[in-house]
Amino acid sequence: MHLSINAYFNSVPKDIYAHISDQELLDKFKRDQDSIWLGILLQRYTLMLLGVCMKYLKDEEAAKDAVQQVFLKVISELQKYPVDYLKSWLYTIARNHCLMQLRDKTKLISVSEEMNLADEPSTNLSALDKEHSLILLEQSVNELNAPQKTCVTLFYLQKKSYQEIVESTGFSLLQVKSYIQNGKRNLKLLVAQKMSQS
């Protein structure tokens, strides 16, 4: 992207409601039945939703139209049903909308399944449990397969960027992302296993 991008981004008005959380805005909407609150809330996700629609539709105008249609659907649905995890729900609606547009035969993922993909409430471990799991985590890293261990170590422990990992390991970007994601998942499983054994 060009350096001149700042000029365009600076023209965007700052969110004067930034101090209000998503949940508070949703509550305000439910209480007042005023869709203005929804407008403020949804604007926070415009850029990300545009990115998601662009990824699937590969066309700028089509992506814009898709986001607008997603917003209309969201406004109408939110007046009917309560939504607990707005962010992941928005993502699911946008992705399903794009997949439907592509008339792909891919099985659509239901909202309940998708909840795990984002906004997952983090597990509240006690300080003692956390310390214990950190020790187990350190031990478990060595049990990962070589590519996962390398990528997890470079990414989480040495804080290298995706690009730097690609350059130093020779893996493709897709492989790097996959090794990090799977490595993290395997680490959590290993720690959980060890915790249940001890």
Partner 1 sequence: MSDFNNILNHGAELSDESLKRYLEGTASEEERFMIEHQMTDEAFMNDAVEGLQQFKDPKVMQDLVNKINQDLLKHTVKKKRNKLKHRIEDQKWAMLSIIIIIILCILGYFVIHLAQNPTSPNHSIEQKK
Question: Which chain residues interact with partner 1 by CB under 8 A?
Answer: 1-6, 8-9, 11-12, 33-36, 38-39, 42-44, 46-56, 58, 60, 63-64, 67-68, 71-72, 75, 87-88, 90-91, 95, 117-120, 122, 125, 130, 133-135, 137-138, 152, 155-157, 159, 161-162, 177, 180-181, 184, 187-188
Residue 94: partners with Cβ closer than 8 Å, 6 or more residues away = 49, 52, 53, 66, 67, 70
How far apart CA 191 and CA 94 sit, in angstroms, is 34
69 exposure class (CB count in 10 Å sphere: 0-12, 13-18, 19+): middle
Residue labelled with tokens 């407008």: 39
Whole-number minimum distance, CB 197 to partner 1, in Å? 19
Whole-number minimum distance, CB 169 to partner 1, in Å? 15
> In angstroms, how far apart are the furthest CA atoms of the chain?
57
26 versus 180: smaller Cβ distance to partner 1: 180
SS3 110: coil
Whole-number minimum distance, CB 147 to partner 1, in Å? 15
Whole-number minimum distance, CB 79 to partner 1, in Å? 10
Residue labelled with tokens 């399944």: 113
Whole-number minimum distance, CB 31 to partner 1, in Å? 14
36 versus 102: smaller Cβ distance to partner 1: 36
156 versus 171: smaller Cβ distance to partner 1: 156
Report the half-sphere exposure of 13 (CA within 13 A, side-chain side): 5
26 versus 63: smaller Cβ distance to partner 1: 63
